Amino acid sequence: MANKNKPFKASWSYDPAPESTDHIQLQKKYDLYIDGKFIKPESGKYFDTINPANDEIIAEIAIAEKEDVDKAVKAAKSAFKNWSKIEPKERGKYIYRIARLIQERAREFAVIESLDGGKPIRESRDIDIPLAANHFFYYAGWTDKLEFAFPNRKPKPLGVAGQIIPWNFPLLMAAWKLAPALATGNTVVLKPAETTPLTALKLAEIIRDSGLPKGVVNIITGAGKTGAEIVNHPDIDKISFTGSTAVGKYIQKAVAGTNKKITLELGGKSANIIFEDAAIDQAVEGIIDAIFFNQGHVCCAGSRLFIQESVANTVIQKLKDRMETLMVGDPMDKNTDIGAINSKRQLKTIENYIKIGLNEGGEIFQTDCILPEKGNWCKPTLFLNLSQSHTIVQEEIFGPVLAIQTFRTIEEVIEKANNTPYGLAAGVWTQNGSKIFHMTQKLKAGVIWANTFNKFDATSPFGGYKESGFGREGGLHGLKPYVKFE
């Protein structure tokens, strides 16, 4: 036997299969998209956006400060007068047009998403970009049917929505927020995350080309300070934020006592529960999808794994074998399963949690993949010998690190799964249908997947319980945070 611990080691290594990048159009420098055109920031300041897979600078991005935020909000406010009044079906036409333009340029978007954020091209190509287009298609259909979405309640738009999006699914999160806001007749000031601004700026180009009335969508870039300017701006009527729970708490404090409506989609430490009567092999695959999808940079990642004791050894052995076949490396390679960690800062956070896990006595397993020299990388990692009181079981790591515990009874696992300040998602693996319904009633989580994980759809609402936030995005429910009733 070649290697006793790795009896099923793959031997056939695939040649590099890089997605070509020559078809994409990127500028060296990006300005702020305000009132239908790209304009320079008042301060003249720019920051670099970096390719996390090789540390190279891709482009310079404008920093929006107070004056720029003012301009953007003013443009949005003035555009609201007409946009909120035009025929709803006309609004729908614009949104359909944006959806089609994204589809037409899907390949370019996918490449830029992977270049800027480090996610594998397979994921940006097959998940992020098509799903982003789907959200626009879906909400375009609602524009002239809002009265049926809220019967007898006369829904009206709120005004100017300030939208702050995270770096893990840059274009998709922009779509999640823009599409329902536009469909309901609001205008928008949107800020992408500072490490991944490029696809939002490419979206700005599409929006410009779509002929959408100027000022309806304004896309401005910058770091936390820019975000704070949006949150605190007096002429903003609605804040929608996806990101960390710490920032979410700050935002909620900041808008307290104002008239601003607010939607927060925050962190998570979602439980993924494997019962002994599950289809074990598919459950193992589900564990992989739950924690290693997008390098674990997923707010609903199944980062806490609970395995029923009678099958724990089998599942862990199979999981380790499967992890060894994950290909870590160049995000542009079509065979890559796990790409680059989004930023140096995030990599440090993850590494720090791994240290904490070891210091607290966790038993670590990492695959023996070879990591590239340049860029930000983390091996697929799991920890055993943990309890509810371990830090890495309690806190969100936002990386490819899985915390494993075992359980004996259904009551025990429900108690443990709910024993967290978060409540975003959960996964249940069993071939027993009634057990699934029992679990979905008992688990306090916004989304519960049965025999699958990390599945998203434009028609399906997404959002959290407890400190994972409030408000829903997607589906009919996703319209509600953007309307008021007379």
Partner 1 sequence: MNIDFSKIPTYDTLGVIERVNRFGKRSIKNSSKVEGLKLALSMIDLTTLEGKDTKGKVEQLCYKAMHPHDALQNIPTVAAICVYPSMVSIAKKALQGSKINVASVATAFPSGQSDLKIKLADTKFAADQGADEIDMVISRGKFLSGNYQYVFDEIAAVKEACGKAHLKVILETGELETLDNVRRASEIAIQAGADFIKTSTGKIQPAATLPVTYVMLDTIKDHYLKTGIMIGMKPAGGISTSKIALQYLVMLNEVLGEKWMNKEYFRFGASSLANDILMQLVKSETGFYQSANYFSKD
Question: Of 12 and 148, which CB lies nearer to partner 1 in the complex structure?
Answer: 12
Contacting partner 1 (CB under 8 A), which of 2, 246, 256, 370? 2
What residues from 272 to 291 belong to the interface with partner 1 (CB under 8 A)?
A: 277, 279-282, 285-286
Q: Residues 394-433 vs partner 1: string with x where CB under 8 A?
A: -------------------------------------x--
What residues from 437 to 456 belong to the interface with partner 1 (CB under 8 A)?
A: 451-452
Contacting partner 1 (CB under 8 A), which of 91, 105, 122, 304? 122
| 148 in contact with partner 1 (CB under 8 A) | no
- Strands in 271-274's sheet, in edge-to-edge order, are 363-366, 381-384, 401-407, 304-308, 271-274, 425-429, 447-450
Q: How far is the CB of 331 from partner 1 (least distance, A)?
A: 14
CA distances from 270 to 121, 402, 462 (A): 25, 11, 14
Q: How far is the CB of 285 from partner 1 (least distance, A)?
A: 5
For residues 23 and 319, give the distance between their C-alpha atoms in angstroms, rounded to a whole number.
38
Q: How far is the CB of 86 from partner 1 (least distance, A)?
A: 43
**Residue of 303, 314, 297, 308 whose CA lies nearest to 274:** 308
CA distances from 163 to 231, 269, 398 (A): 9, 24, 22
Strand partners, 407: 308
Size of the residue set binding partner 1 (CB under 8 A): 29
Sole window of 12-20, 43-51, 172-180, 200-208 interacting with partner 1 (rule: CB under 8 A): 12-20
Question: Of 310 and 317, which CB lies nearer to partner 1 in the complex structure?
Answer: 317
Active-site position among 113, 265, 396, 473? 265
- Give burial (CB, 10 Å; 0-12/13-18/19+) of 180: buried
Is 265 among the catalytic positions? yes
189-220 burial, b for 16+ CB within 10 Å, e for fewer? bbbbbbbbbbbbbbbbbbbeebebebbbbbbb
Phi, psi dihedral angles at 412 (to 5 degrees): -60, -45
Q: How far is the CB of 451 from partner 1 (least distance, A)?
A: 5
For residues 18 and 23, give the distance between their C-alpha atoms in angstroms, rounded to a whole number.
13
Phi, psi dihedral angles at 381 (to 5 degrees): -130, 140
| 9 in contact with partner 1 (CB under 8 A) | yes
**Residue of 261, 180, 256 whose CA lies nearest to 470:** 261
Sole window of 5-13, 78-86, 351-359, 402-410 interacting with partner 1 (rule: CB under 8 A): 5-13
**Residue of 145, 180, 163, 246 whose CA lies nearest to 472:** 180
Q: Regarding beta strands 57-62 and 46-50, do their DSSP bridges make them parallel or antiparallel, or are they unpaired?
A: antiparallel
Sole window of 13-21, 103-111, 214-222, 341-349 interacting with partner 1 (rule: CB under 8 A): 13-21
What residues from 16 to 45 belong to the interface with partner 1 (CB under 8 A)?
A: 16-17
For residues 425 and 438, give the distance between their C-alpha atoms in angstroms, rounded to a whole number.
16
Q: How far is the CB of 377 from partner 1 (least distance, A)?
A: 21
What residues from 318 to 347 belong to the interface with partner 1 (CB under 8 A)?
A: 325, 334-335
Sole window of 8-16, 92-100, 142-150, 200-208 interacting with partner 1 (rule: CB under 8 A): 8-16
Active-site position among 108, 299, 300, 467? 299
Q: How far is the CB of 6 from partner 1 (least distance, A)?
A: 8
Q: Which amino acid is at 381?
A: T
Contacting partner 1 (CB under 8 A), which of 27, 43, 310, 317? 317
**Number of C-beta neighbours around residue 85 at 10 A:** 10
CA atoms within 13 A on the CB side of 235: 14
Q: How far is the CB of 133 from partner 1 (least distance, A)?
A: 20
User: Which stretches of the chain bind partner 1, using CB under 8 A?
Assistant: 2, 6-17, 122, 126, 277, 279-282, 285-286, 317, 325, 334-335, 431, 451-452
Active site residues per annotation: 265, 299
